[in-house]
Every structure is written in structure tokens, then in C-alpha cells.
Amino acid sequence: MKKFLKIFFLTAACVSLVSCEDYLDTTSPSNMDDTFATSSPSEALKIMSKAYATYRQGGAMFSLYDWNDPLRSDMEYYCEGPGPNTKYALMMSELSVPNINDMQGGFNGSYSVISYTDKFASIIAAKPEYQAAVEAGQVNDWTHLYGEAVGLWANTYFRLTLHFGDVPFGYENKSVTEYELSSRFAIYDALIAKLKEVEGGMYKIGEGGIDGERVSRTFVNALIGQIALHAAGYQTLRTDVEGLYGEMSFEKKAENTAAKCIYARPTNYKEYLAIAETYFTKAMGEAAGAAKLITTDERGYVNNPYQRHFQYSLDLQVSPETLFEIACPQGALPNGMTANGEYLYAFGRGSDGGGSNGAPCKLFSAVRMAPAAYWGVFSNDDPRRDVSAVVTGMDGKGNEIVTSWNPGNKGSKGGMCLNKWSFEYMSNPFVTKQRCAGINYPVMRMGEVYLMLAEAKAGLGKDGEALSLVNDIRRRAFGDSNHDLKGLTGDALKEAIMNEARLELFGESRLTWFQIRGGYISELAIDAQNIIKDICKDVREKGYYEFENGNQFPAYIWTKKVAGATLVYNGTEGDPVMWPAWRGTYDYATLGVSVSGTEHNLAIEGLFKAIQPDSAEAKALEADGYTKVEYGITYANNEQSYIGSTMSGIKAKTDVPRYLMPIPFETLAQSKGKVTNGYGLPQQ
């Protein structure tokens, strides 16, 4: 389990870190070039490991992404309703006033990682051992470490542009008195060029002891593809800085003259798509056998290759499908150090438990699935549906409970939780303390690469090849070719790729970028807001809303407790205890924590076909011990909250999506007027 992770936490306190409290403090610690620190690859890895820890702990990961990226699509919303935590997910950037610094931690933390990795790479590049290997055209530990540093440097810069747009570039570890914005396209070109330069000197996943917890050649090539794909796609661009994008020209989809921004893509987008196609293909070819799409499930008790990827994470192992994830330890660390263990806490199946010794402990569960997605977008036979979202939570005392549609957090409120990271399915649930479960932070997996490559090929007119990749994803999900898509071309194919991303990537912080790049985001936002209105109207008037696939979202359901504590896996449709699948509960009594009662599982009736409250069927259920529970009617009673949680900053299908974040005030102030915020964001 995570041998590399043990190294970097034991050494984290030993190595100084670039001070990043004030942006563009560009000096690095003098002991970074300590001869002993880089006397061997193993010692040098200890230095590099600090960069990984800083990426996770210093705000670059959690502060920027967790409260926005997985909450910004037509499928996803935030459990507590609209508010300041999710203003960028809502496209309500005007709420940044007067909070210009609310993303300062993530912004500065990112530049800390950038400075640190740049310095580390320069030290490795000066070593005779590295230079000799480069001269001989060899790949060894030194050439890999150099590429590893460059890879994390480039990944951090790229994600800065995703969230802040055009930012200062290239000032790390230099003495500067002033600086300016760089075009994101100039940054993309520089990152791609640098990554191309280093990837040949790196180990692939599976070579040199490298797995998905470290930056590899496999990930670097996929990252080149991802950067190029994003450069080719629609995004929100500034119009208030003359000459920012040089001689580039754009295809404009929408314009906001008041906020001085447009939604557009470059006219030479196919040049970037060609790069994306080449390097995604390269990454997939290199990864064969070591990193792959999981298509089989060796577990005798369940057959769900899609869930198998997430189970590796729940078992604190690196999945064969992982290209890169940030390691996170479980439990307490040496010398009083702490680790940001937010992933399961923020994105797991909700629990009302306390902070420690819970069954399970509290899980906030920020990301929820819209009813229109669960009942309407997924087909009932799609094995991804119940792995992705769950209708029940936990009470923290070992009991499964219905998660109501009252806005709120934890297990009892907020709507359907993300289910990909569920405490119950850990091989040994960690119940000692919240936020310490040890689930890694995912950055990229092979399923996403398949869909990104399909997106690139479809944009280049290679429709047959793109459709084949989509069907690879569908065959993994369904286990057969009976669900293959056929004959799709042009715009219909591109929409199918985006729709497959909805089914495959819900809650993983990836779906939003498919919808933004493809130019779909504003249209989808309005459609999602409108269907909420339709659902709530029918639930109030008819007692249910019926989707095109025949599923009915009901005003009421009927539930009763069932003896025992059982985990549900594949499930049996029509069985009220076994359907929906991937729920139930772990037997927490075996872990020595407090549970209540002996009836821990929940039977549910009427979830997909509405039962009328005064019907003979309802009376028979009540005679059998079932209780009527308010369900969809609660959603309808909170209609405005759910509309507000669904990208409500977008008011029309022709709106420019304003998802970008403000550069902090100190960075603006020290730039002598050369760095400003755009998109209507505040300047102070």
C-alpha cells in the first residue's frame, strides 16, 4: 500500500518549501541544492515528494477544485443549495465582490508547486549523471525525475489556466520587479513544447517502479493531449486586454459586452485537435498492460468492471485504470503532521455520524445527482447508474436511511449522494476519525482518456474511430455489444460523446470541461433549470413526473427497516431490499463502534413507479410494515433552491459562462497595473 506515500510524508518536515504567502516571492530555499539531497535518485525523490504534498496540502488541489468542478454540469449540484461556496460552479462570479481573495490559497499554493518543481528540475538538469544519460539517449532514474518535475509543473500551470484563465507565466525562481499576464494559448504552447521535450526520457507506468501515484511518461503524454484538447475547445476569453491573444482569431459563440468577455474557440482549433489525437493515442499505446481500461471483474460475488476501478481506491490501492492520482495517507501522521483527507469526506455517500468513532463518521457529501439524470438520463440496465449515485445515506449508527430532498448535507438531506467513493464498500472502513480515510485524489483515468480521444477524433472528422472509442466505454459498462451506438456522425456524434461523459464521469470533476469545451454548457444549464420546473409541476399535480424511458420520479415512497446489515452489490430489480443496487450497509458492529438496533438495511417500494397514497397497493404495503415517506414532493417544495443550484448564473442559452475565478488582490497590486481581473470580476 502506497510505498511512495510513506516516503514523502516522513520527509516532508525535513525540506524547506518556497514561501508562497505573497505571490511572486520567486526565490527557492537554499537547501534545495544541497548535495546530499540529490546524492542519489532515492534521496532526490524525497525532495520531489514535497512537491506532491504541497500540491495536495497547499490548496492547489482542494481549494480550487472540490467546491466547483464537480458541481458544474446539468447532472450535478451542491447539497446545501446555492451559496458563496459554489459561486463559480453556479457561474455567478459577481458574488466574488467583495471576496477577491477567496481563492488566494489555491492560487498561491499552485505557484508554490510551480516554483518548487522548477527549482528541482534545474538542480537535476545540472547533475553530470543526468547530462550523461541525455547525451547517451538513455532513460534512467535521473531523466525520469527531471521529467516528473516538469510534468507536475505543467499540470499545475494548466489547471491554473482552467480556473483563472490568463495568468502570469515564466517568472518562477527569477528576480522580478514587475510582471504581466500571459495569454493562456501562449502558456498552452509552452507547456506542450516542454512536455514533448521531456516525455521520451521518462518511465511509462509499470517501468522503473512507477505507478499512478507518480507522474509518468504515460500521464505526461495524456496531459499533452488534454492541454491541446482544451486549447481547441470553447472557453471564456477576455476582450478587455488589447493584444492579449496576439494575432489569434476566434469563432465566437456568445458575447457579454458588460463583462467584456466572449465564449469562443480559436479558428485553428484543428491544429490543437491533431496534437491531442497524437498524444492520447501515444499514452494509450504506451499504457497497454500497465494502465488500461478495466474491462473484466475477477470478483466472484459481483460483476461490475466499472465499479472495480473505484474499489481499488476504496481498498487503498492504485487502480490499473489510473494515470495519475495524488497520494493521501490514512489516519494520523508522524510528528503531528496532518494531511488533507477531504476526498471521501466531501464526495462520499453521506453520513450523519459524528467526527470520530462513527458508523460511519460524518460524511459531508457535497456532490449530488439531479433527479433528471438518475431517473431520466441513465437507462435502468446501465451498471454505472447505482455505482455513481445512491438514494440512501447512513445515520452514523450503522443504519441505512432515505436521503431526503430537503437541502442540507450528510446522509439525511440534500438529495442523492455521489456513490463512487462509499465508506461502506471499503475493505476495512476507517471509523476512527472523519477526514482521514486515506482515499487518493484522482487526476486522470483511462476512461476519461478514451472519451477525450473520441472528442478529438470527432472534431477532426474521424467519426468511425471516435464512435468505436465510445462503444469501448459502453461495452465496458454493459458487458456486451448490444448497447453499441451505431451510425452517428457530425454533431450527433459529438453530442453522444458528451452524453457518454455524463454517464461515465459524473462527480469526478471532469464532466464540466467536456460541456464547456464542446460549447454546450449554457444550453444545458437552461434545459436543466427548465426540467426542474416541469418535474416539480407534475409531482405537485400528478404525484409523479414520468421520463421518456418510463421511469417515474414519485412524490412519495414507502420504506421499512430490514433485519441484519448487508451490502448490496449488483442487485435484483423488483426486490425492495436489493434494488437499487450498490447500497445497504456494512456490519459496523464488527468494528466495535456503536450501532443502534438490529434492523440496519432498508426496503424501498415505489421508487421508479409511483404509488398513489390512497391506493390498495399503498394500504397493502402499510399493512406489511412499510411507512409512507415524503420524497419527490419535498423536491417540489424546494424548487427554487434546486433551480438556484443548477448553474443559475446562466440566464439564457446564449449567455457566456463565467466560471473563472479572481486573481487575488496582492498579485494585482504588485503587478503595477499589468495584471487585472476580467469577466466582470472585482479588482479589489
433-480 pLDDT tens trace: 998 999 999 999 999 999 999 999 999 999 999 999 999 999 999 999
* DSSP string of 562-631, one letter each residue: ESB--B--S--TT-TTT-SSS-B---GGGGT-----SB-EEEEESSSS---TTSHHHHHHHHTT-EEEE-
| pLDDT band, very low/low/confident/very high, at 393 (cuts 50, 70, 90) | very high
Cell numbers at 256, concatenated: 457579454
Count of other CB atoms within 10 angstroms of residue 14:
11
pLDDT at 20 (0 to 100): 33
Q: Which residues contact 581 (CB under 8 A, 6 or more apart)?
A: 386, 568, 569, 570, 571
Q: Is the pLDDT of residue 521 over 90?
A: yes
**Nearest one of 436, 427, 414, 444 to 349, comparing CA atoms:** 414
pLDDT tens for each residue of 202-255:
999 999 999 999 999 999 999 999 999 999 999 999 999 999 999 999 999 999
| pLDDT band, very low/low/confident/very high, at 85 (cuts 50, 70, 90) | confident
pLDDT at 336 (0 to 100): 57
Number of residues written out for the chain: 684
| pLDDT band, very low/low/confident/very high, at 582 (cuts 50, 70, 90) | very high
Count of other CB atoms within 10 angstroms of residue 590:
10
Helices (H), 381-505: 384-388, 446-459, 463-478, 490-505
* DSSP string of 299-331, one letter each residue: -TT---HHHHHHHHHHTT---TTEEEEE----S
How far is it, in rounded angstroms, from Cα 143 to Cα 130?
Answer: 6
How far is it, in rounded angstroms, from Cα 484 to Cα 353?
Answer: 42
CB of 396 closer than 8 Å to CB of 354: yes
pLDDT at 418 (0 to 100): 97
pLDDT at 36 (0 to 100): 57
Residue 400 β-bridge partners? 394
Task: Please compute the mean of the pLDDT values over residues 483-490 and round it to a whole number.
Answer: 98
Q: Which residues contact 567 (CB under 8 A, 6 or more apart)?
A: 424, 425, 584, 585, 586
Q: Is the pLDDT of residue 96 over 80?
A: no
Identify the weakest region by mean pLDDT among 30-34, 155-159, 446-450, 595-599. Answer: 30-34
| pLDDT band, very low/low/confident/very high, at 59 (cuts 50, 70, 90) | low
CA angle 227, 671, 668 (to 5 degrees): 75
pLDDT at 25 (0 to 100): 40
What does the radius of gyration of the chain's CA atoms come to, in whole angstroms? 25
How far is it, in rounded angstroms, from Cα 518 to Cα 505?
Answer: 15
Q: Is the pLDDT of residue 331 over 90?
A: no
Calculated CA dihedral for residues 534, 538, 539, 542, nearest 10 degrees: -170
Burial of 632-646, coded b for 16+ CB within 10 Å and e otherwise, reads bbbbbebbebbbbbb
CA distances from residue 507 to 78, 419, 480 in whole angstroms, order as listed: 11, 9, 25
pLDDT at 355 (0 to 100): 93
pLDDT at 86 (0 to 100): 87
From the number of C-beta atoms within 10 Å of its C-beta (0-12, 13-18, 19+), residue 280 rates as buried
Task: Please compute the mean of the pLDDT values over residues 527-551 and round it to a whole number.
Answer: 98
Placement of cell 415505489 in the chain? 606
Q: Is the pLDDT of residue 157 over 80?
A: yes
| CA-based torsion, 226, 231, 236, 237: positive or negative | positive
Task: Please compute the mean of the pLDDT values over residues 150-163 and round it to a whole number.
Answer: 96
Look at 387 and 95; give whichever has higher pLDDT: 387
pLDDT tens for each residue of 170-197:
999 988 888 999 999 999 999 999 999 9
Q: Is the pLDDT of residue 272 over 70?
A: yes
CB of 582 closer than 8 Å to CB of 374: no
pLDDT at 338 (0 to 100): 57
Q: Is the pLDDT of residue 13 over 50?
A: no
Identify the weakest region by mean pLDDT among 4-13, 27-36, 279-288, 338-347. Answer: 4-13
Q: Is the pLDDT of residue 15 over 80?
A: no
Coil, strand, or helix at residue 560?
strand
**Nearest one of 412, 430, 382 to 582, comparing CA atoms:** 382
DSSP 654: T
CA distances from residue 83 to 1, 262, 333 in whole angstroms, order as listed: 39, 25, 34
| pLDDT band, very low/low/confident/very high, at 286 (cuts 50, 70, 90) | confident
pLDDT tens for each residue of 604-661:
999 999 999 999 999 999 999 999 999 999 999 999 999 999 999 999 999 999 999 9
Q: What pTM was computed for the model?
A: 0.95
Coil, strand, or helix at residue 402?
strand
Helices (H), 137-268: 141-164, 184-199, 217-232
Burial of 657-670, coded b for 16+ CB within 10 Å and e otherwise, reads bbbbbbbbebbbeb
Cell numbers at 411, concatenated: 446522509
Task: Please compute the mean of the pLDDT values over residues 295-300 and round it to a whole number.
Answer: 96
| pLDDT band, very low/low/confident/very high, at 21 (cuts 50, 70, 90) | very low
Q: At what angle do helices 41-57 and 141-164 cross, to 10 degrees?
A: 10
Judge if the upstream peptide bond of residue 29 is cis by omega within 30 degrees of 0. Answer: no
pLDDT at 290 (0 to 100): 80
CB of 370 closer than 8 Å to CB of 77: yes
Count of other CB atoms within 10 angstroms of residue 218:
31
Task: Please compute the mean of the pLDDT values over residues 64-73 and round it to a whole number.
Answer: 78
pLDDT at 675 (0 to 100): 97
| Beta strands 367-369 and 416-418, pairing class | antiparallel
Q: What is the mean pLDDT of the chain?
A: 91
Q: What is the CATH number of domain 3-66+100-291+659-670?
A: 1.25.40.390
Placement of cell 404495503 in the chain? 621
The values of phi and psi at residue 238, to 5°, are: -85, 145
pLDDT at 44 (0 to 100): 94
The values of phi and psi at residue 5, to 5°, are: -60, -40
Q: Is the pLDDT of residue 12 over 90?
A: no
Amino acid code (one letter) for 480? D
CB of 411 closer than 8 Å to CB of 571: no
